Amino acid sequence: MCSFVAGVILRERIPAFERMLWRACRGNVFLRQAEIESPLEDPSSSDQVYKSVFIIFFQGDQLKTRVKKICEGFRATLYPCPEAPADRREMAMGVMTRIEDLNTNPLTFNVIIVIQCCHITSACVATQADAFLHPVLTINAHIQPLTSNIGWIWASFDVRRHLPFYPAVSCDAFQIVLGQTQDHRHRVLVAAAKNIKNWFVKVRKIKAIYHTLNLFNLDVTQKCLIAECWVPALDLETIQLALRRGTERSGSSVPPILNRMETIEAPPTYNRTNKFTSAFQHLIYAYGVATYREVNPAPYTIITFPFLFAVMFGDLGHGAIMAAFGFWMCYKEKPLQAKKIDSEIWNIFFGGRYIIFLMGLFSMYTGLIYNDIFSKSLNIFGSSWRNNYNATTLTNNTLLQLNPDSKDYTQIPYPFGVDPVWQIGMDNFHYDKFLIEYFKRRISVYVEFVPQIIFLTLLFFYMVLLMFIKWTTYGSSGEDHFGSEDPDIIASSGYCAPSILITFINMVLFKDTTEEQLRLRPKCPTEMYRGQMALQKVLVVIALLCVPVMLLGKPYYVMKQQKKRESQTHQPIEGAAENGTAAGAPVPSGHHDDDVTEVFIHQAIHTIEYVLGSVSHTASYLRLWALSLAHAQLAEVAWNMLLRKGLMSTGYEGGIILWAVFAGWAAISVAILVLMEGLSAFLHTLRLHWVEFQSKFYHGDGYLFQPFSFEAILDSAGQGEE
């Protein structure tokens, strides 16, 4: 005899259901299904879904269990169906009646009742509910409180049946109650949503506290916890006070004890910063955290960073845009911080707002010096160059140099910055070369160790000195001296000024160029000052002598130390301070004589790196010139190609065209010149700082002091979530 089960299942699941049945029961069951046309409401998600009704025939108990299991797995709902046809008819009638009931009177279903009163208790519910719905309502569930004065319960009632007892109540009233159910549910959820953030914060804080407590050690007596931690030495008093306050607040009788301990571990590095300096400090940290008690380059960075950036960026107009943006961010600090905007790019810009502001200001300054505003020059003081060539010479030559010696130059230098005439001049870069040397000299002062300093100073500082000498001795002579034959005047004129670069190269190569110079420029002296050749030779020799000192000094010292240690009984020698050679970490006391060769090799690498590095770094500063030139040229191109087309349009539509073109030019200026070039200059400045500056002396081996802080934990958790 066949038995069967019947039920409904989601339409999408039918094919898989069929297949599963076929495989599991080996084709011994028979499935028949039909689709239900109207969609039904899913109780859990309250969407409309399409279902199919099915009936499965099988024989035997085993198949029955299997089929029932499969139906469960596919979440089909099984309904009891009587076997005998008479019973089935009766059941069908019963179901029809119920459906009719539902359709004719829609007020027969469950409701949610939201109750507001001063205090949620069952008594409160009873009185309120009774007052409103007696006697149609039977409440036998507990009221669920949501907040201190709101609660809700589920109840069910059939109003139609009870209507005769409660004729005053109209159907509409109940409709309103039920219609408002959705609204109420929404509002209740909104109220809960407000508290969720607080709950999350509380949970996180508690978690963090317990996590930290887990790091403590349990005492022998199992009665107290011991924690070993790093504290800033200056803050000891504050910490004692805080511990005492905590004891008082928690009401315990046993005060905590704070003891200093000795340890050989390296302490973490803690640099106190305020909101202004912290951005610069983070730039340094990105390269490496300073070793404990190492020189912190951050204070210098505050000035050198924007300055180097500005040298590469120098344009009054673009600098003004950048400074305005930085100023706005700094001015509106508090409200912008409170907004907690999520975009990472915005957070990067906002974190560096002081840097951006300073960079903008410095760029305005260099823009004034370069005399560049959106690629045009300002003529505030009147140019100091005059054109004195006569007409014929002019028409015959397309490119001419204005000789500073002759009447062309009024001998009064332009008061501030580059003379606007340079805008039409082709030679823009001599000025920048001077700047580069200035920088190299300043940087070298910051290096602290003696042979390194000697090496650098002798060579590069001397080069800078030469520059100054050239500036001062080879000034242009006065107007009246043009064409004079006096050898003294000629010697100091601009005609004879040598090129510093060539001089330097010749110096290092020990080349004697006296005859060549005499041949090319016969009337000029071969030296810039008396004894130049001899002095240069001496300098180079001393600099070369520094190299073996750097190379061999430290290994020799280490060898001597080891011999001394062997001859004495084991006295611990703490990492003895090296004499000025390139510093490394102090030698720990357990170190024996196994790596003398290693030290040698190490030192050789250091020396080569240093010597070659100083030359290459000097050349590397040329990027200052390259970038500033690129920026100026880009700005000029933007103006000439774009804005000029708008300016030159004729007629009245010219104004309209200019209106549109200006918008485009402004967009390009901001996008390419400020953003892209700014980013590029920022990167190069960063690289200059990291590689050329900090690699000379900064080891950055330390790790950061990161105290327990609720703010940090909550911030990072909040970010992680989004």
Partner 1 sequence: MKVCGPKLSLCCLVLSVWGIVQLTLMGVFYYIEAVALLEDIPLDESHNETTVFNIEEFKRMAQLGYSQVGIESVTLIEDAAEEKAANGKDFLQVTTKNYKAIASNCWIAATMYFVTLLIAVSQCVWAQRIQRAAQEKLEEEGCEDTK
* Site residues for partner 1 per CB under 8 A: 116, 147, 150, 186-188, 190-191, 194, 376-379, 382-383, 385-389, 391, 394-395, 398, 420-421, 423-424, 640, 644, 646-650, 652, 654-656, 658-659, 662-663, 666
Q: How far is the CB of 662 from partner 1 (least distance, A)?
A: 6
Beta-carbon contacts of 506 under 8 Å, excluding residues fewer than 6 positions away, are: 513
Burial group, residue 370, by CB count within 10 angstroms (0-12, 13-18, 19+): buried
Closest by CA to 303, choosing from 257, 349, 256, 358, is 358
Least distance from partner 1 to the Cβ atom of residue 263, Å: 53
Of the pair 271, 423, the CB lying nearest partner 1 is at: 423
Q: How far apart are CA 410 and CA 489, in angstroms?
A: 18
Yes or no: say if 136 and 164 are a contact pair by the CB < 8 Å rule.
Answer: no
**What are residue 525's phi and psi, to 5 degrees?**
-70, 155
Q: State which residue, 93 or 666, has the beta carbon closest to partner 1.
A: 666
Which CB atom, from 187 or from 211, has the smaller least distance to partner 1? 187
Q: Which is nearer to partner 1, 325 or 449 (CB)?
A: 325
> Would you state the structure tokens that stand for residue 46, as one six-digit string?
């309250």
- Among residues 209 and 378, whose Cβ is nearest to partner 1? 378
Smallest separation (angstroms) from partner 1 to the CB of 383: 5
Q: Which is nearer to partner 1, 152 or 698 (CB)?
A: 152
For the purposes of burial, counting CB atoms within 10 Å of the CB of 258, is it exposed (0-12), middle (13-18) or buried (19 or more)? exposed
Whichever of 323 and 459 has its CB closer to partner 1, that residue is: 323
Q: How far is the CB of 633 from partner 1 (least distance, A)?
A: 15
Identity of the residue, 150 or 243, whose beta carbon is nearer to partner 1 in the bound complex: 150
In this structure, the dihedral spanned by the alpha carbons of residues 249, 252, 255 and 258, taken in order and rounded to 10 degrees, is -70
- 418 contact partners, CB below 8 Å, separation of at least 6: 369, 370, 371, 377, 431
Distance CA 523, CA 542 (A): 33
- Before 135, cis peptide (omega within 30)? yes
Pinpoint the alpha helices (H) of 74-170.
85-104, 122-133, 159-162
**Residue with smaller CB distance to partner 1, 380 or 576:** 380
Interaxial angle between packed helices 677-687 and 316-331, expressed in degrees from 0 to 180 and rounded to the nearest 10: 80
Minimum distance, C-beta of residue 155 to partner 1, in the bound complex (Å): 20
- Nearest to partner 1 of 475, 654 (CB atom): 654
Helix or strand or coil: residue 256? coil
CB of 265 to partner 1, least distance (A): 52
Q: By C-beta, is 117 or 501 nearer to partner 1? A: 117
Gap between the Cα atoms of 631 and 311, Å rounded = 10
181 vs 423 by CB, closer to partner 1: 423
State CA 379 to chain mean position distance. 41
Rg (CA), the chain: 44
Closest to partner 1 by CB, 148 or 250: 148
Query: CB 495 → partner 1: shortest distance, Å?
Result: 23
**Sheet (strand 150-158) strand order:** 108-116, 150-158, 144-147
- Give 536 or 669: the residue with its C-beta nearer to partner 1: 669
| Nearby residues of 82 by Cβ (< 8 Å), 6 or more positions away | 88, 91
Instruction: Dig out the tokens for 407 from the structure.
Output: 């009447």
Pairing state between β 108-116 and 77-79: unpaired
What gap in Å lies between CA 343 and CA 208, rounded to an integer? 26
Question: How far apart are the C-alpha atoms of 29 and 26, rounded to whole Å?
Answer: 8
Least Cβ distance, residue 410 to partner 1 (angstroms): 9
Instruction: Sort 653 into a burial class: Cβ within 10 Å, 0-12 / 13-18 / 19+.
Output: exposed
Residue position matching structure tokens 């969720």: 196
Instruction: Please state, in angstroms and rounded to a whole number, the distance separating the CA atoms of residues 420 and 267.
Output: 56
Length in residues, the chain: 722
Angle between helix axes 316-331 and 353-370 (nearest 10 degrees) is 160
Residue 53: strand, helix, or coil: strand
